[in-house]
Amino acid sequence: MGIHNSDDISAAAFVIKNPTIKFTKLFINGEFVDSISGKTFETKDPRTGDVITRVAEGDKEDVDLAVKAARQSFDHGPWPRLPGSARGRIMMKFADLVEENVEELAALETLDAGKLFSVNKARDIPHAASSLRYYAGAADKIHGEVLKMSRELHGYTLQEPIGVVGQIIPWNYPSVMFFLKVSPALAAGCTMIIKPAEQTPLTALYYAHLAKLAGIPDGVLNVVTGLGSNAGAAISSHMDIDAVSFTGSTEVGRKILQAAATSNLKVVSLELGGKSPLIIFEDADVDIAADLALFGALYNKGEICVASSRVYVQEGIYDEFVKKLVKKAKAWVVGDPFDPKVQQGPQVDKMQHEKVLSYIEHGKREGATLLTGGRSLGEKGYFIEPTIFSDVNEEMLIAKDEIFGPVMALAKFKTIEEAIKRANNTRYGLAAGIVTKDLNVANTVSRSIRAGTIWINCYFAFDNDIPFGGYKMSGFGKDYGLEALHKYLQVKSVVTPLYNTPWL
């Protein structure tokens, strides 16, 4: 198994692979500005390790400026006071602009994150635009209710925007996550400070530019690029931010929750790590199940919180499944993510590359059987072979920890009860998959696994309507669906006496 290289690079392809980097400064109060310190940091191409450009490094003082702009916009600006339909129209224009610039945005995402250009262009960027449209349609449907009271009182509720929100997004899905946070917050009437991951800042800055073109007022959407330990920490502990939404590791989620608790008790929602099981029963079509397992573990280089990194296969089909799975894994194409034939690009950076390789070495030392893969590929860049271990038990690190790379831990089981027990033997609870033709098995297992999303005979089946979030140490709060909109709203109760009756 080697790395795939394509020599067929047309002039058009060269332009796509080398987009002009237009936006590298902080975006605060409707303007691109240098950081107060003047510091910058490098963002690198994971295909080669080469520097793409330098980006402004925001710090606490820059976050303060962004929060001040967002607070001014929320307290005195038009955005929270616009009719929902007016906010929705501007958001629709924003979505149009995203789609009009899809090719350049897809190229930036590939260049910065190592994600497949074909997937960015056909799926991720259009999905970002669809998130805007979904919540734009909800913006004029935010309302409270009239309450049936037990006393001589008239009561009703209002749903109001929560205020200034901080949104900290990860590097594995820069565009999808940007709009997963921004879209419902905009619809609710909030103002915001977004901190993209330091590994992948480029598309967030481009989206800030498009927001300005769409007519989103100054101060509503601010982007502060920088390090998590500085800019991210400043957002989490800021006394004038009303809520924080974070997607990322459980370790960082703990720090954000602690910072919120020791500052102003801001509302926090966390979508954190996962170690999702995929349970394949012996009535499954083995070919389909092998494709689903491989896709679930290797999609987006395994850099996805719901990757099916633990695969449990019932003993009746286990041997046949393993043969087909390994054959398919060996045919999986790793290489330049701009090449349409490639199925897997490089890990996002050197640190992640080394982390994944270290877990592979742990698996070998702990006694798991390496069926295929396990090596770094290529002389440059951060490519890793699709890697499958068998004979894995729940005490091994490769079965317990979120690896966030193309590594699958495979095991067999006998009974439904055993499969449920092993699937739940994790500190995480983000997602799970079930492959079976038996409706009773599907219903039993889906109700028994403690996870926020259960996919039956499918995987990565996301949609704007489907709430997404975790159990246990995978966090709390939901993205997607109207539940995500409610994160950015708070309920106010209004009560008045009826008929001038004494209320005491």
Task: Reply yes or no on whether 109 is catalytic.
Answer: no
Tokens representing 402 are 């979120």
The C-alpha atoms of residue 457 and residue 156 are separated, in whole angstroms, by 44
Please report, for residues 30, 116, 325, 409, 413, the alpha-carbon distance to residue 364 in angstroms, rounded to integers and kept in the order given.
Answer: 52, 30, 19, 12, 22
- In this predicted model, what pLDDT tens digit does every residue of 382-406 receive, in sequence order? 999 999 999 999 999 999 999 999 9
**pLDDT score at 501:** 66
The C-alpha atoms of residue 134 and residue 465 are separated, in whole angstroms, by 8
Within 8 A by CB and 6+ apart from 504, the residues are: none
* Cβ atoms of 42 and 54 closer than 8 Å: yes
* Cβ atoms of 409 and 399 closer than 8 Å: yes
Of 435, 415, 341, 387, give the one whose Cα is nearest residue 4: 341
Position 344, amino acid = Q
Within 8 A by CB and 6+ apart from 335, the residues are: 3, 4, 5, 6, 341, 342, 344, 345, 383
Of 229, 306, 257, give the one whose Cα is nearest residue 63: 229
The C-alpha atoms of residue 166 and residue 350 are separated, in whole angstroms, by 28
**pLDDT score at 6:** 58
- In this predicted model, what pLDDT tens digit does every residue of 209-238 receive, in sequence order? 999 999 999 999 999 999 999 999 999 999
What domains are defined for the chain?
11-272+475-490 (3.40.605.10), 277-463 (3.40.309.10)
* Cβ atoms of 231 and 63 closer than 8 Å: yes
**pLDDT score at 145:** 96
Residue 472 burial (C-beta neighbours within 10 Å; 0-12, 13-18, 19+): middle
**pLDDT score at 9:** 46
* Cβ atoms of 147 and 496 closer than 8 Å: no
Nearest 10 degrees: Cα torsion 473, 479, 484, 490: 30
10-residue mean pLDDT series, the chain (504 residues): 58 62 96 98 96 97 98 98 98 98 95 96 97 98 94 94 98 97 98 98 98 98 96 97 97 96 97 97 97 98 97 98 98 96 97 98 97 94 98 95 98 98 97 98 98 97 95 96 96 90 63
Q: Return the SS3 of 421.
A: helix
**pLDDT score at 101:** 96
Annotated catalytic residue, options 198, 271, 385, 402:
271
**pLDDT score at 407:** 98
Please report, for residues 316, 412, 447, the alpha-carbon distance to residue 440 in angstroms, rounded to integers and kept in the order given.
Answer: 19, 21, 11
Q: Return the SS3 of 23.
A: coil
